[in-house]
Amino acid sequence: MPTVLITGATAGIGEASVRAFAAAGWHVVATGRRKERLDALAADMGADRVHTLAFDIRDEAARDEALASLPAPFGEIDLLINNAGLALGLEPAQQASLSNWTTMIDTNITALVSITHKLLPQLVARKGAIINLSSVAANYPYPGGNAYGATKAFVRQFSLNLRSDLIGTGVRVCSIEPGMVETEFSLVRTGSQEASDKIYTGVNPMTAEDIAKAMLWVAEQPPHLNINAIELMPVNQAWSPFLVHREG
C-alpha cells in the first residue's frame, strides 16, 4: 500500500485529497498547522489510514522533527503533494503589503522547495512522484495577482525543471493548475465571507473534490507515464481581452 504526504491538509483541496487518497486505499500523512482539524480528519478516516503531523510548513526544524516521528507504515513516502499555499490581498502592486508578499513567497515557494528537497532522496530511492499545486495564475496575469501569480509561476517552472533533473530516476512530477475552486482560499485572501461568496456567485466553480480526483488520477497512472501538467477551469471561467488604459 503506497504512502502519500499531503501538505496543507486542514481545509479545501488538501483535506479533500486526504479523503480521496485514503478512500482509494493509500496510507496518508496529513500535515498542517491546525491540529484540531487534523485530529478530526484522522478520527473520521481512521488512524490506521491517516497519520497527522501538526506544524507550520515554513518552520524547517518543526517539519524535520515531525517527519522523524513518522511510524511504520507511514515513514516511507511514495508521493509528495505540495498543496500548502495561500494568496493574500487583491491590491495593485503599488498599494500591496510587503508582508503579504513575503508570506506568500515563504509559503508558496520557499517551504515548497524545502520539503521537496528534504524528501527527494527518499522519492528517488522509491521511484516515487511529486504533485505540485500551481494555478492558472501561473500562466494568465490579472490585476491584483502580482506576487501570488509569480509564486505559482515558480511552482510550475520548478515542476518542469524537476522533470528535467529527475530524468532516469523513475520519479514522476506533475503541476496541477486550477482556476476557480470554491474553498477557504478566497476567504483567507479577502478576509471577508461576503467578499469571498461574491467571487463565486453564479459561476458554478470547481470544488476541492474535483481537484482531489484529478490528483488521484495522476498518482495512479502507470509508472512509465508522466502527466506533466493539468490546467483545469470551471466551464464558466475563461480568458479575457487584454487590459487597455485609454488616456484623455
The sign of the torsion formed by the CA atoms of 102, 189, 139, 156 equals positive
The one catalytic residue in 140, 142, 148, 200 is 148
SS3 74: coil
CA atoms of 140 and 42, how far apart (whole Å): 37
Closest CA to 138 of 107, 114, 162, 159: 159
CA atoms of 238 and 23, how far apart (whole Å): 32
- Annotation says 200 is catalytic: no
CA atoms of 135 and 148, how far apart (whole Å): 10
Name the grid cell of 207: 470544488
CA atoms of 82 and 115, how far apart (whole Å): 8
- What are the residue numbers of the active site? 148
